[in-house]
Amino acid sequence: YYLGAALRFQGQYEAAYDAFYKATWSHAYHTAAYYQLAELDCLRADFATALDHVERAIATNAWADSILGLKSAILRRLDRLPDAQQVSSSVLAADPLDFRAGYELHLINSALGARKKAADGLATLRKKMRGDIQLYLELAVDYGNCGLWDEAIAVLSLAADSDEQRVCTFPMLYYYLGRYYDRKGERERASGCLARAGEMPADYCFPFRLESIDVLRTASERNPDDARAPYYLGNLLFDLQPDSA
């Protein structure tokens, strides 16, 4: 399993896929490995296979909200909206603070044409997230990790449109936006976000996610004039990779 995680982090998805499959032979890693496989399937837009793998993950951990959140997103992408709605609703009933389930319901209701319900759900979700930029980033990363770039960008755009300065001026918000636009192939929009990221105040910006390594490295490559991206990256790497920092 850890070999698969390391290979995936290095971008060696095919080798990671094989390693995760071997990890499913162990009951201890059965759920986690199938979850990783489902995310990799989503990165390839193979949602039918992803659904099979996520069902296998649920078989050994039916209470894992993260897996159920991914299942809802997969069902929505397969246009099985009532099924997706049922999954997200059950998750929210058990955990009202599951932000992915809340956002999935917003997306599902929007797709179903229930505009007021979708808007009310989004308003409730934003209230629960209480202006914490890290919650927006975490939700976006959940989508980004399975290649759902549009959903990740939409979540971050909510933060960018916020009236709260501590949210809409946080540098990592725009670095992530730039990376996700880049993954979509929208280089012009990506460049605009990266330029904006370098202009944001550095106060209290301490990146800590592993995903931020790729985000900041890409930002440094795309915009060499931005001194802050390598600065943030150096701070992130310093503890465990001081030579790289």
Residue 238's pLDDT is what?
Answer: 94
Residue 229's pLDDT is what?
Answer: 97
Mean pLDDT of 9-13: 95
Residues 6+ apart with CB under 8 A from 235: 206, 207, 245
Per-residue pLDDT band at 146 (split at 50, 70, 90): very high
pLDDT value at 219 more than 90: yes
Residue 111's pLDDT is what?
Answer: 97
85-96 pLDDT, tens digit each: 999 999 999 999
Domains in the chain, ordered, with CATH? 1-62 (1.25.40), 71-129 (1.25.40), 130-245 (1.25.40.10)
Residue 240's pLDDT is what?
Answer: 86
- The beta-carbon contacts of 33-38 under 8 Å, at least 24 apart in sequence, are 33/1, 33/4, 33/57, 35/64, 35/66, 35/67, 35/70, 36/1, 36/4, 36/5, 36/8, 38/67, 38/70, 38/74, 38/146
CB-count burial class (<10 Å; 0-12, 13-18, 19+) for 64 = middle
Mean pLDDT of 179-204: 96
CB-count burial class (<10 Å; 0-12, 13-18, 19+) for 75 = buried
pLDDT value at 192 more than 90: yes
Residue 165's pLDDT is what?
Answer: 93
Residue 149's pLDDT is what?
Answer: 98
CA distances from 140 to 53, 153, 161, 181, 205 (A): 22, 7, 15, 13, 17
45-79 pLDDT, tens digit each: 999 999 999 999 999 999 999 999 999 999 999 99
165-183 pLDDT, tens digit each: 999 999 999 999 999 999 9
Residue 245's pLDDT is what?
Answer: 86
Residue 239's pLDDT is what?
Answer: 87
Closest CA to 91 of 73, 69, 121: 69
Residue 214's pLDDT is what?
Answer: 96
Residue 85's pLDDT is what?
Answer: 98
pTM: 0.95
